């Protein structure tokens, strides 16, 4: 049990480290330039130059504080979009990629069930999710202390911890794409494309007549800006994401168990 | 109980037939040769038996497990080794790491011993492996858990001739230890070395099941002789000779062509035919001539099919026989690449 999860996790370690270092460097830069920028920032003037709808969509009204600035510059883009794409993309190649290059045959020739293979490959996605979250959490905490603009530690931990259900959901979606798509590139494209599409839908539809569209967007259930600026943690949203992830994963497992591996 | 038993096994990929109505059984301790040209349905059959895909119709059991019962087949795979022709591996890990991983999945009781026979560079990354090294790694993986049944899909492709012989010898030794083999191939000569019984599959159907010796008797040899002086095809209408051609002309063709040989300026003629019979009468007959060159080879699989099941169109026969002669093994390879895609489905 868990041999595949262990093997795959180790395989993902290098990529996870690279992503963690990249996002850390970006985070460090944002933290370092934040105090200088915030001094010069006139939020009132800024929000007046843009149309109100855009201000609301981009949540520009909160950018004047270190919490709001980091939430928007780092977590909003970095987590809701970039890290989600990475996880969905990795998941998408997990099954479809192995089927494409024949690795799946070698694996399925062993006395393992398809459920086990899929489940353990999904578990291995915890490697990038945990490595990146822990490393960047430390960097942001230390950085904000260093520039003397501390962010409440509880809020920082929450913004990272509550991102895990969000990222797991994209992992499960990537798995579903991986099982359904005829080829690896199709699965990867669908998974990454879906992240971008739902991110845009939620950003654009928020507060408009199309608001209901955002209900199906995972970004609605994890809001780093509210966590950091208002210390409001959406546990219901996190639970919703976990349930959705479980449903998608279950569907992937059922489909994978039935499909032909060619 | 038979180790492998299929009843009317059929697999279609949409409209495309993979294999149809295949019924065969392989007994314990038997080496069963599953022979056929590429694209005939060998790989389809093997992938269905391994549970990689489900059959469209029919049933099969492997080590007593119904192939449509995922849980039963999973348990059975613990006693099955699988050796494909082009194994797929994670390429950015070392062979050692991969053996550790797959050993942990299926158990490892004899990889050390196997690595003395088949020795891929374990500390190098698999991505840097040659095809032969990958195949050796796959062999170790297929046998490391000491399975009762080994399913092999063209297992010697990619191995150099020396390793091929070593591998075939290894199979014989394993058979003596009581292992059962399902051995797919398109090369008769390697199958005849180790297989007790063979089935031939063509266009998705099983067309012949008999023991190797009787097949070889019926298949015959390809004889090509270069003799001094002019010869007619009629002179070689001896018992057991078929499709006699003289200097590239068919038996029914015009007068035989004689050519100047490079040596002493003497005239010589090339005669070729398929021969099914004992050697002595053939050699005695040949010794009546000034024998300059003689080659006796095994008939290519394509010719065997042609002789048994198919086209008796004289021209096609001649063309096929000629190609078989002049290109020798290369003719095989061409057929392979043409059919390679079909074989992958």
HSE-CB for A80 with a 13 A CA cutoff: 24
Query: CA-CA distance, A240 to A248, in Å (whole number)?
Result: 12
Contact call for A101 and B88, based on CB within 8 A:
yes
Look at A86 and B246; give whichever has higher pLDDT.
A86
Q: Are B302 and B324 in contact (CB under 8 A)?
A: yes
The residue of chain A with its CA nearest to that of B73 is A111
Task: Judge whether residue B79 has pLDDT over 90.
Answer: yes
Q: Out of A102, A112, A113, name the one closest to residue B88 (CB).
A: A102
The whole-number pLDDT of residue B71 equals 94
Task: Judge whether residue B57 has pLDDT over 90.
Answer: yes
The whole-number pLDDT of residue B343 equals 39
Query: CA-CA distance, A93 to A116, in Å (whole number)?
Result: 17
Location of structure tokens 């492998």: B4
Contact call for B54 and A107, based on CB within 8 A:
no
Q: Are B291 and B268 in contact (CB under 8 A)?
A: no
Total residue count of chain B as it appears in this document: 345
Look at B38 and B245; give whichever has higher pLDDT.
B245
Neighbouring residues of A51: CB distance < 8 A, sequence distance ≥ 6: none
Q: Are A119 and A202 in contact (CB under 8 A)?
A: no
The whole-number pLDDT of residue A38 equals 80
A107 touches chain B (CB under 8 A): yes
Which ipTM score applies to this complex? 0.87
Tell me what the mean pLDDT of segment B178-200 comes to.
86
Query: CA-CA distance, A40 to A64, in Å (whole number)?
Result: 10
Q: Are B50 and B151 in contact (CB under 8 A)?
A: yes
Helix (H, G, I), strand (E, B) or coil at B61: strand
Please, what is the average pLDDT of chain B?
Answer: 81
Q: Are B243 and B321 in contact (CB under 8 A)?
A: yes
Chain B CB contacts of A262 below 8 Å: 13, 47, 52-53, 345
A262 touches chain B (CB under 8 A): yes
Min Cα separation B265/chain A (Å): 58
Give the pLDDT of chain A (262 residues) as one tens digit per residue: 799 999 999 999 999 999 999 999 999 999 999 888 887 767 777 777 777 777 776 676 777 788 888 998 899 999 999 999 999 999 999 999 999 999 999 999 999 999 999 999 999 999 999 999 999 999 999 999 998 888 999 999 999 999 999 999 999 999 999 999 999 999 999 999 999 999 988 887 766 677 777 788 898 899 999 999 888 899 999 999 999 999 999 999 999 999 999 8
Contact call for A103 and B90, based on CB within 8 A:
yes
Q: Out of B51, B54, B87, name the one closest to residue A106 (CB).
A: B87
Which DSSP string do the residues of B148-198 spell out, in sequence order?
A: SEEEEESTTTTS-HHHHHHHHHHHHHHHHTT-EEEEEES-HHHHHHH-SEE
A12 touches chain B (CB under 8 A): no
- Structure tokens, A130: 């945990």
- Structure tokens, B53: 């895909």
The whole-number pLDDT of residue B300 equals 67
* Pairing of β B31-35 and β B197-202: parallel
- Structure tokens, B31: 């080496």
A113 touches chain B (CB under 8 A): yes
Contact call for B82 and A105, based on CB within 8 A:
yes
> At what angle are helices A84-100 and A3-40 packed, to 10 degrees?
150
The whole-number pLDDT of residue A37 equals 82
Contact call for B88 and A108, based on CB within 8 A:
no
Task: Judge whether residue B336 has pLDDT over 50.
Answer: no
Task: Judge whether residue B331 has pLDDT over 50.
Answer: no
Q: Are B34 and B199 in contact (CB under 8 A)?
A: yes
Query: CA-CA distance, A224 to A207, in Å (whole number)?
Result: 18
Contact call for A103 and B89, based on CB within 8 A:
yes
Tell me what the mean pLDDT of segment B292-303 comes to.
78
Q: Among candidates B266, B242, B270, which has minimal Cα distance to B256?
A: B270
> At what angle are helices B131-143 and B161-176 packed, to 10 degrees?
10
Tell me what the mean pLDDT of segment B317-322 comes to.
42
Order across the sheet with B65-66: list the strands. B16-26, B4-13, B57-62, B65-66
Chain B CB contacts of A261 below 8 Å: 47, 52-53
Min Cα separation A191/chain B (Å): 22
Look at B167 and B330; give whichever has higher pLDDT.
B167
Chain B CB contacts of A103 below 8 Å: 88-90
> CA angle B218-B219-B225, nearest 5°?
120
Chain B CB contacts of A4 below 8 Å: 105
Task: Judge whether residue B254 has pLDDT over 80.
Answer: no
Q: Among candidates A135, A140, A160, which has minimal Cα distance to A150?
A: A140
- Structure tokens, A157: 């931990």
Contact call for A260 and B86, based on CB within 8 A:
no
Contact call for B101 and A3, based on CB within 8 A:
yes
What single-letter DSSP state applies at residue A73? I
Neighbours of B289 (CB within 10 A): 18
Min Cα separation B95/chain A (Å): 13
Look at B320 and A54; give whichever has higher pLDDT.
A54
Min Cα separation A256/chain B (Å): 11
Chain B CB contacts of A7 below 8 Å: 101
Reported as a single tens digit per residue, the pLDDT across B107-153 is 999 999 999 999 999 999 999 999 999 999 999 999 999 999 999 99
Selected for mutation to probe chain B from A110, A184, A256 (highest B CB count within 10 Å) is: A110
Q: Out of B77, B84, B101, name the one closest to residue A111 (CB).
A: B77
Selected for mutation to probe chain A from B67, B69, B77, B149 (highest A CB count within 10 Å) is: B77
Size of interface A-B (CB pairs under 8 A): 73
Contact call for A111 and B84, based on CB within 8 A:
no
The residue of chain B with its CA nearest to that of A100 is B88
Look at B49 and A65; give whichever has higher pLDDT.
B49
Q: How confident is the model at residue B309 (pLDDT cuts 50, 70, 90)?
A: low
Location of structure tokens 């994978």: A256
Q: Among candidates B269, B318, B272, which has minimal Cα distance to B290?
A: B269
Q: Out of A102, A112, A262, name the one closest to residue B86 (CB).
A: A102
Reported as a single tens digit per residue, the pLDDT across B19-33 is 988 999 999 999 999
B229 touches chain A (CB under 8 A): no
The whole-number pLDDT of residue B168 equals 94
Query: CA-CA distance, A207 to A71, in Å (whole number)?
Result: 20
Work out the percent of chain B whose per-residue pLDDT is above 90: 47
Neighbouring residues of B202: CB distance < 8 A, sequence distance ≥ 6: B36, B37, B40, B305, B309
User: CA B336, B339, B343, B345 torsion: positive or negative?
Assistant: positive
Element (H, E) at B291: strand B291-298
Min Cα separation B339/chain A (Å): 17
B187 touches chain A (CB under 8 A): no
A104 touches chain B (CB under 8 A): yes
């Amino acid at each position: 049990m868990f041999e595949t999860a262990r093997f795959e996790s180790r395989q993902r370690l290098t990529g996870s480290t690279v992503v963690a270092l990249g996002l850390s460097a970006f985070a460090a830069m944002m933290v370092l330039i934040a105090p200088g920028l915030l001094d010069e920032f006139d939020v009132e003037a800024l929000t007046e130059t843009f149309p109100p709808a855009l201000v609301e969509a981009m949540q520009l009204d909160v950018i004047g504080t270190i919490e709001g600035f980091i939430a928007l510059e780092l977590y909003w883009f970095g987590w809701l979009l970039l890290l989600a794409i990475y996880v969905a993309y990795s998941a998408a190649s997990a099954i479809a990629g192995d089927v494409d290059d024949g690795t799946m045959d070698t694996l399925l020739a062993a006395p393992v069930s398809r459920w086990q293979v899929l489940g353990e490959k999904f578990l291995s996605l915890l490697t990038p999710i945990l490595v990146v979250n822990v490393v960047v959490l430390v960097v942001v905490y230390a950085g904000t202390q260093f520039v003397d603009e501390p962010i409440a530690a509880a809020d920082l931990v929450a913004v990272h911890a509550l991102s895990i259900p969000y990222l797991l959901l994209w992992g499960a979606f990537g798995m579903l794409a991986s099982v359904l798509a005829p080829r690896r590139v199709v699965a990867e494209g669908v998974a990454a494309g879906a992240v971008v599409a739902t991110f845009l839908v939620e950003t654009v539809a928020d507060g408009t007549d199309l608001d209901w569209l955002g209900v199906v967007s995972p970004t609605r259930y994890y809001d780093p800006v509210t966590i950091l600026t208002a210390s409001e943690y959406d546990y219901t949203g996190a639970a919703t994401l976990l349930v959705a992830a479980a449903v998608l994963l279950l569907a992937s497992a059922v489909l994978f168990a039935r499909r032909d591996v060619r | 109980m038979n180790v492998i038993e299929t009843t009317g096994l059929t697999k279609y990929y949409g409209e495309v037939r993979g294999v149809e109505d295949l019924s065969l059984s392989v007994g314990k301790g038997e080496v069963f040769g599953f022979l056929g040209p590429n694209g005939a349905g060998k790989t389809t059959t093997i992938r269905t038996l391994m549970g990689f895909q489900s059959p469209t119709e029919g049933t099969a059991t492997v080590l007593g497990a119904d192939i449509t019962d995922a849980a039963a087949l999973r348990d059975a795979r613990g006693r099955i080794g699988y050796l494909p022709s082009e194994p797929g591996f994670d390429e950015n890990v070392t062979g050692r790491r991969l053996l550790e991983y797959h050993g942990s999945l299926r158990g490892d009781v004899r990889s050390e011993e196997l690595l003395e026979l088949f020795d891929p560079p374990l500390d190098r990354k698999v991505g840097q492996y040659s095809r032969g090294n990958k195949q050796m790694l796959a062999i170790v993986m297929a046998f490391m858990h000491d399975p009762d049944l080994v399913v092999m899909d063209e297992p010697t492709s990619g191995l150099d001739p020396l390793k091929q012989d070593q591998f075939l010898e290894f199979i014989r030794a394993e058979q003596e230890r009581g292992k059962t083999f399902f051995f797919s191939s398109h090369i008769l000569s390697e199958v005849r070395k180790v297989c007790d019984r063979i089935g031939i599959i063509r266009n998705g159907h099983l067309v012949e099941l008999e023991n190797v010796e009787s097949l070889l008797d019926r298949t015959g040899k390809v004889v090509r002789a270069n003799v001094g002086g002019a010869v007619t095809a009629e002179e070689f209408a001896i018992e057991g000779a078929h499709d006699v051609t003289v200097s590239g002309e068919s038996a029914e063709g015009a007068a035989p062509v004689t050519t100047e040989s490079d040596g002493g300026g003497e005239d010589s003629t090339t005669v070729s035919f398929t021969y099914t019979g004992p050697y002595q009468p053939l050699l005695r007959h040949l010794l009546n001539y000034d024998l300059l060159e003689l080659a006796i080879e095994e008939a290519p699989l394509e010719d065997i099919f042609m002789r048994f099941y198919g086209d008796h169109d004289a021209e096609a026969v001649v063309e096929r026989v000629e190609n078989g002669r002049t290109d020798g093994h290369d003719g095989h390879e061409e057929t392979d690449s043409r059919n390679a895609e079909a074989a992958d489905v």
